[in-house]
Amino acid sequence: MYRTHNCGELRIENIGETVTLSGWVQKSRNKGFMVFTDLRDRYGVTQLLFTEEKTEEELLKLAGTLGREYVIKVTGTVTERSAKNSKMSTGDIEIEVTELVVLNESKTPPFKIEDETDGGDELRMKYRYLDIRRNPVQQNLIFRSNLAIETRKYLANQNFIEVETPVLIKSTPEGARDFVVPSRMNPGQFYALPQSPQTFKQILMVAGMDRYFQIVKCFRDEDLRADRQPEFTQIDCEMAFVTQEEILNTFEGLTKHLFKQTLGVELPDFPRMSYDEAMRRYGSDKPDVRFGMEFVELNDVAKGGDFPVFNSAELVVGINAEGQADAFSNKDIKKLTEWLQRPQVGAKGLVYVKCNADGTFKSSVGKFYDDATLQTWADKFGAKAGDMMLVLSGETDKVRKQLNELRLEMGRRMDLMKPDDFKPLWVVDFPLLEWDEDSNRFHAMHHPFTAPKKEDEEKMLNGDHETMKSLRADAYDMVINGSEIGGGSIRIHDRALQARNFKLLGFTDEEAEDQFGFLMGAFEYGAPPHGGLAFGFDRLCAVLKGQTSIRDFIAFPKNNQGRDMMIDAPSHIDDTQLKELNLDVTVEPTES
Ligand code: ASP
């Protein structure tokens, strides 16, 4: 037998028992006449004491032999520690070892297997098996497992059926780039890996499955921005005969259940905010509402004066940083302005107005506006002595995005974004289509299967080009603390409307038929009204745990170049394989 107990289990009640434990050597301390060793497994750490009937020589040898990460089995007696450790669950006891078996040796690990490690990201990914031995990573994976189990429980209770959809599907140009897989049996043809099971779950609704879910891998071949993974997991769901309201309630219910079961947190009902309102108040469709600092528009009080920049701007808009007037020196403001002017944000400049204690103002535009005018600004912001108003101007959409960045930055600096303060909301009423100047065509704001609002259907079928920009969709996102956790929509279930949408998106009839004929065909056989959503499961884990990176919630993540550092993939394949796949194009191998 390898163990009678695990390494996190023994307590003062077990004193006197003879036990056997197996695990990894965390560290050993040689005290000359005795050796203390911390033995670790998934469940915890137990202190071992080697002393009994051993000569000093034997002990010294032992301490030298038991290197870090050796796998050992020990048998011994549970005894009370003289120096207890209240930080450890097993801190009251230790094991006086009578028998030791070395089950396997270990090379010295390339980084510390401790909560705080000295290993860099790439090294940790290469030796992921060692990284996963570390408690924080292990706890994240356990948390993820619990979240998946609770999701299944909740949805099963609500009559959802888990259905697996295929991984080898068909490539479509809409959305992100596909990963493709050559078909050996069909020379010259390719499968694609699903970006989401979207069309399959809709087909399942046509098939009468009524309520579907799947915890499923999705694949998107995008340039990897920070914290994106080429393969990621969704909780993918679809329901038939539902209104948007019922969908929101169902998945608000799921989210509350998950918070309750995994964190013990009771979430209040989620507020709902229209897309337009979110953009106006926060400049973002995923506002972080843990803190206020809402946008205040100043066109009526800032334009028409002597400041040409504001006069020529489409929108003058700002935020009030409460109590920050003294915290920002001229130098700090200069730095903040430079931060805003980086290409990533792209603001032209920053105007500040500090509210002095005596009712006067100190401002970068003080020579254009007198104190009485600045007071009207302060009134709009509700700003008081000690506050600092920060104002941007420019084209409406751009300036809102820039001010969103500034608001979030100020939120961080002012420590207003507490990781364990959860503020969920639904953002609803997204536009159906988005006009793209560069490609000179419409894009689907959510995806091409999203239905317009019932009252916009007629406009969509018969309206002119400009009208299309005003169409609204029954599309919604769940946002928690500034992260988009999930999103979905009511779907089109009518062939003519779906065909019209493809046309608006620039598909020819042939292209639409070729790529989505199966779906439109299915709509002709009694497709029920339906809708759904998908949660980003990796991100959900990270947000619940108050962490910013999804990587450590994925057992084997890829690096920023999309490489798996441990197995070293992607890799070249040999000529025979290439030939078999009819891939006769020879690509010069690149250094990897
Ligand atoms: N398939 C969509 C996505 O992956 C979610 C949905 O509309 O259900 O974002």
Domain ranges of the chain: 12-104, 136-263+536-565, 291-413, 424-532
**pLDDT for position 63:** 61
Burial, 86: exposed, middle or buried (Cβ in 10 Å; 0-12, 13-18, 19+)? Answer: exposed
**pLDDT for position 31:** 80
User: C-alpha distances in angstroms, 467 versus 69, 274, 457, 459, 507?
Assistant: 67, 19, 11, 7, 19
Look at residue 584 and tell me whether its pLDDT is greater than 90.
no
> How many angstroms is it from 446 CA to the middle of ligand 1?
8
* Contact yes or no for 151/258 (Cβ under 8 A): yes
Distance of alpha carbon 225 from alpha carbon 360, whole angstroms:
45
What fold is seen in the domain 424-532? BirA Bifunctional Protein; domain 2 (3.30.930)
Report residue 548's pLDDT band, with 50, 70 and 90 as the boundaries: confident
Ligand 1 atom showing the smallest separation from residue 218 Cα = 4
Distance of alpha carbon 5 from alpha carbon 11, whole angstroms:
11
> How many angstroms is it from 349 CA to the middle of ligand 1?
38
**pLDDT for position 66:** 86
Distance of alpha carbon 390 from alpha carbon 295, whole angstroms:
10
> How many angstroms is it from 44 CA to the middle of ligand 1?
40
**pLDDT for position 273:** 98
Could you tell me whether strands 18-30 and 35-41 are parallel, antiparallel, or unpaired per DSSP bridges? antiparallel
Report residue 33's pLDDT band, with 50, 70 and 90 as the boundaries: confident
Write down the mean pLDDT value for the chain.
94
Look at residue 227 and tell me whether its pLDDT is greater than 90.
no
Pocket test for ligand 1, best of 447, 485, 493 (most atoms within 8 A of CB): 447
**Domain 291-413 superfamily per CATH:** GAD-like domain (3.30.1360.30)
> How many angstroms is it from 213 CA to the middle of ligand 1?
12
Report residue 52's pLDDT band, with 50, 70 and 90 as the boundaries: low
Nearest C-alpha to atom 1 of ligand 1 is from which residue?
198
> How many angstroms is it from 448 CA to the middle of ligand 1?
11
Could you tell me whether strands 211-219 and 161-162 are parallel, antiparallel, or unpaired per DSSP bridges? parallel
Nearest C-alpha to atom 7 of ligand 1 is from which residue?
488
> How many angstroms is it from 198 CA to the middle of ligand 1?
6
Dihedrals phi, psi of 107, to nearest 5 degrees? -70, 160
Distance of alpha carbon 573 from alpha carbon 25, whole angstroms:
40
> How many angstroms is it from 8 CA to the middle of ligand 1?
41
**pLDDT for position 61:** 67
> How many angstroms is it from 253 CA to the middle of ligand 1?
19
Show Cβ contacts of residue 121 under 8 Å, excluding neighbours closer than 6 positions: 551, 559
* Mean pLDDT within 478-490: 97
* pLDDT tens string 294-341: 999 999 999 998 999 999 999 999 999 999 999 999 999 999 999 999
Ligand 1 atom showing the smallest separation from residue 236 Cα = 8
Dihedrals phi, psi of 110, to nearest 5 degrees? -75, -10
Show Cβ contacts of residue 72 under 8 Å, excluding neighbours closer than 6 positions: 22, 23, 24, 25, 39, 66, 100, 101, 102, 103
Report residue 120's pLDDT band, with 50, 70 and 90 as the boundaries: very high
* pLDDT tens string 186-203: 999 999 999 999 999 999
> How many angstroms is it from 489 CA to the middle of ligand 1?
8
**pLDDT for position 59:** 58
> How many angstroms is it from 445 CA to the middle of ligand 1?
12
Ligand 1 atom showing the smallest separation from residue 533 Cα = 8
* pLDDT tens string 164-175: 999 999 987 767
Report residue 32's pLDDT band, with 50, 70 and 90 as the boundaries: confident
Q: Which two tokens stand for residue 464?
A: 């002119």
**pLDDT for position 564:** 96
Classify the C-alpha dihedral 33-34-35-36 as positive or negative. negative
Nearest C-alpha to atom 8 of ligand 1 is from which residue?
533
* pLDDT tens string 197-223: 999 999 999 999 999 999 999 999 988
Nearest C-alpha to atom 3 of ligand 1 is from which residue?
534
Nearest C-alpha to atom 4 of ligand 1 is from which residue?
196
Query: Facing residues of 353 across strands?
Result: 363, 389
* pLDDT tens string 551-577: 989 999 999 899 999 999 999 999 999
Distance of alpha carbon 152 from alpha carbon 232, whole angstroms:
18
Provide the residue type at 288 as one letter.
D
Ligand 1, CB within 6 Å, residue ranges: 196, 198, 447, 487-489, 532-534
Report residue 34's pLDDT band, with 50, 70 and 90 as the boundaries: confident
**pLDDT for position 242:** 98
> How many angstroms is it from 215 CA to the middle of ligand 1?
13
Distance of alpha carbon 562 from alpha carbon 568, whole angstroms:
10
> How many angstroms is it from 219 CA to the middle of ligand 1?
13
- 110-114, 209-213, 546-550: segment of lowest average pLDDT: 546-550
* pLDDT tens string 245-289: 999 999 999 999 999 999 999 999 999 999 999 999 999 999 999
**pLDDT for position 586:** 57
> How many angstroms is it from 400 CA to the middle of ligand 1?
26
Look at residue 80 and tell me whether its pLDDT is greater than 70.
yes
End-to-end Cα separation, the chain, in angstroms: 45
**pLDDT for position 466:** 92
Look at residue 529 and tell me whether its pLDDT is greater than 80.
yes
CATH class of 12-104: mainly beta
Look at residue 470 and tell me whether its pLDDT is greater than 90.
yes
CATH architecture of 136-263+536-565: 2-Layer Sandwich (3.30)
Asked if 136-263+536-565 and 424-532 have one fold, the answer is yes
Look at residue 60 and tell me whether its pLDDT is greater than 80.
no
Pocket test for ligand 1, best of 165, 172, 196, 432 (most atoms within 8 A of CB): 196
pLDDT cut 70: percent of the chain above it = 96
**pLDDT for position 588:** 62
Distance of alpha carbon 328 from alpha carbon 350, whole angstroms:
13
pTM confidence score:
0.92
Pocket test for ligand 1, best of 217, 233, 446, 490 (most atoms within 8 A of CB): 446
**pLDDT for position 291:** 97
* pLDDT tens string 353-373: 999 999 999 999 999 999 999
> How many angstroms is it from 196 CA to the middle of ligand 1?
7
> How many angstroms is it from 417 CA to the middle of ligand 1?
28
**Chain center to CA of 120:** 21
Look at residue 56 and tell me whether its pLDDT is greater than 90.
no
Report residue 74's pLDDT band, with 50, 70 and 90 as the boundaries: very high
Ligand 1 atom showing the smallest separation from residue 532 Cα = 8
Dihedrals phi, psi of 525, to nearest 5 degrees? -115, 50
* Mean pLDDT within 479-497: 96
Look at residue 587 and tell me whether its pLDDT is greater than 60.
no
Ligand 1 atom showing the smallest separation from residue 487 Cα = 5
Pocket test for ligand 1, best of 234, 244, 285 (most atoms within 8 A of CB): 234
Distance of alpha carbon 259 from alpha carbon 250, whole angstroms:
15
Pocket test for ligand 1, best of 222, 236, 474 (most atoms within 8 A of CB): 236
Ligand 1 atom showing the smallest separation from residue 198 Cα = 1
Pocket test for ligand 1, best of 285, 533, 538, 539 (most atoms within 8 A of CB): 533
